[in-house]
Amino acid sequence: MSGLKVTLRPIAVMGMVLFTSPMVGRGGPPHGEDVVVGRSGAGQLATEVPVPGPHELPPVNLGIHGWALADPGLLNLAGDEPGKDFFTLGAGAIVNLELVSVDPALKVWSEGFGSVLTAPGQSFIVGGSVFDYHPMYHIDSDDPAFDPATEIYSVMLRLFDSGATGYAPSEPFTLTFTPVPEPATGLLFVLGLLGVLGPRKRHGARRLR
Amino acid sequence: MTARAAALSLAVTLLLAADVVAQDPLDMWVGKSAGRLALSPPGFQPGSAYNPLFRVDQSFLHGWSHVNPGFDHATSSAGGVAPLTNPVEIRLEVVALDPALVVFGPAFSFTLDQPGERGLLGDANVHTHPTWFIDEEDPGFNPDQCVWQGTFKLVATAGGLQPSQPFTLLLTNVPVRGGEFPPTPTPASGDFEEDSDVDGEDAGAFAACIGGPQRRPSPSDPAITTCEVDCYNAFDFDDDMDIDLMDFADFQMEYDP
């Protein structure tokens, strides 16, 4: 019995940490995971993607269904970095996010849910020269194309400028997402609970005898 | 020694590789002051401007919504507010909400529509954008209303900090001067009628809007406007959320009967 405890307790802790960490993270990461947006010296929009993914999407079940998160965001570069040919955006820029390609059932919502990108060529404005924009990435379990066996969802995006600055469109960049809790993680959580509660119940039953 | 040099080199490399990013001045910056959670002055100060919401018509949402202002973390001390340190968990608690005003957590992680309800924002590195939503389908929705007030406080459920002082956001479903997306600073013009002049009719509107210093306008003439945002848009030359004699001085400069 004590051997079982020793074996299952760490699994329980690990399982619960894995299970709950996405919920703790719902408050959103600091700027470290946001896509930084600037331009090259030649006048082309440029991005730096610190964490391409896979980003974990927690469950959502209110109005929309499936898994969703409003991170990573899109954040303007705040200071020139000449060594990286990465410069701040000029006044007059109007930066748009355009969908290049997307896996079935993955959608990109604008802030406030006014627009949704589901097909190549669709776009919405994310800001001017200064912005901190958080689209919501949504794996739609109600979508007819939703496949519960899919573990990684991918979207390719690019930015274009519709403002007076006239920057050339950025190179496409890719973000990937995975729904959590995955079945395996949920199973680990259940096993962990059994590890914690199971031995206690049996211990209590022995006392009763 | 070699290991230290390597570590130093790595640190310098990482420092150089890090992008220069800034806190968004349109977000509220969360810190601490005298043992309480507090909003840092360089960030957005609730009540210092109207926060525009934009029309949304989706199968599950009908009304007006937007995600600004968000919440960011203070990164340096300012105005007596210092950055937070972990462990701390920050939650947004509703003190009071006008009818039909709802707050959704990021990706609907929570819904707040009653006093006392709370939603998790994050830890000492908080950076999140709730969705502020005026629900047109709510039975309490008043189509004649143009500013919805939400009063909140920040509470720490770990970390031992006292709640913040309550703060009130002014959310509106009508266009705000300079508040289109993306925001564009636009000064007041005095042209209430929006007919490219500032004449006697605009002066009549000014009279309906003026309410004195440190008081939000409360126009009540349906023939002119009953929406305080209209007054702000045309006549609040110094952007201090009131229409007073300071604004009248600027209005006189623009007046051309």
Q: What is the pLDDT along chain B (257 residues), one digit of tens a residue?
A: 345 554 444 444 434 445 555 677 789 999 999 999 999 998 999 999 999 999 999 888 899 999 889 999 999 999 999 999 999 999 999 999 999 999 999 878 899 999 999 999 999 999 888 999 999 999 999 999 999 999 999 999 877 899 999 999 999 999 999 888 777 889 999 999 999 999 999 999 999 999 999 999 999 999 999 999 999 999 999 999 999 999 999 999 999 98
Beta strands (DSSP E) in chain B are 28-33, 36-40, 50-52, 54-57, 62-66, 71-73, 89-97, 101-104, 111-112, 118-122, 131-135, 147-158, 167-172
Smallest CA–CA distance, residue B239 to chain A, in Å, is: 21
Smallest CA–CA distance, residue A124 to chain B, in Å, is: 11
A189 is a domain residue: no
Number of structural domains (chain A) is 1
Which amino acid, one-letter code, is at B132?
W
Q: What is the C-alpha separation between B220 and B198, in angstroms, rounded?
A: 21
| HEC assignment per residue over B192-207 | CCCCCCCCHHHHHHHH
Which amino acid, one-letter code, is at B105?
G
A19 is a domain residue: no
What is the structure's pLDDT at B59?
83
Share of chain A residues as helix, strand and coil, in percent rounded to the nearest 5: 30, 35, 35
pTM, to two decimals? 0.78
pLDDT over 80 (residue A70): yes
A96 is a domain residue: yes
Is the ipTM of this structure higher than 0.85?
no
Q: What is the C-alpha separation between A38 and A90, in angstroms, rounded?
A: 9
State the CATH number of the domain containing residue A75: 2.60.40
Q: Does B20 touch chain A (CB under 8 A)?
A: yes
What is the structure's pLDDT at B62?
94
A17 is a domain residue: no
| Contact at CB, A68 and B108, closer than 8 angstroms | yes
What is the structure's pLDDT at B48?
94
| Contact at CB, B67 and A112, closer than 8 angstroms | yes
Mutate: best of B14, B16, B21, partner A, most A CBs <10 A: B21
Mean pLDDT over residues A135-162, rounded? 96
pLDDT over 60 (residue A208): no
A11 is a domain residue: no
pLDDT over 90 (residue A146): yes
pLDDT over 60 (residue A52): yes
CA angle B121, B127, B133 (to 5 degrees): 60
pLDDT over 80 (residue A196): no
| Contact at CB, A111 and B127, closer than 8 angstroms | no
Q: What is the C-alpha separation between B157 and B154, in angstroms, rounded?
A: 10
| Contact at CB, A70 and B129, closer than 8 angstroms | yes
**Is residue B186 a contact partner of residue B177, using CB atoms and an 8 Å limit?**
yes
Q: How high does pLDDT run on average in chain A?
A: 79
**Residue from B220, B218, B138, B226 nearest B174 by CA:** B226
| Residue A33 structural domain | 29-180
Q: Of the segments A80-94, A180-194, B56-70, which one has the largest average pLDDT value? A: A80-94
Q: Does A37 touch chain B (CB under 8 A)?
A: no
Mean pLDDT over residues A28-36, rounded? 72
Alpha carbon distance, N-terminus to C-terminus of chain B: 80
pLDDT over 80 (residue A17): no
Q: What is the C-alpha separation between A107 and A132, in angstroms, rounded?
A: 20
Give the start-to-end residue ranges of the domains of chain B.
15-172, 200-254
Q: Does A200 touch chain B (CB under 8 A)?
A: no
Q: What is the C-alpha separation between A26 and B247, in angstroms, rounded?
A: 44
What is the structure's pLDDT at A30?
53
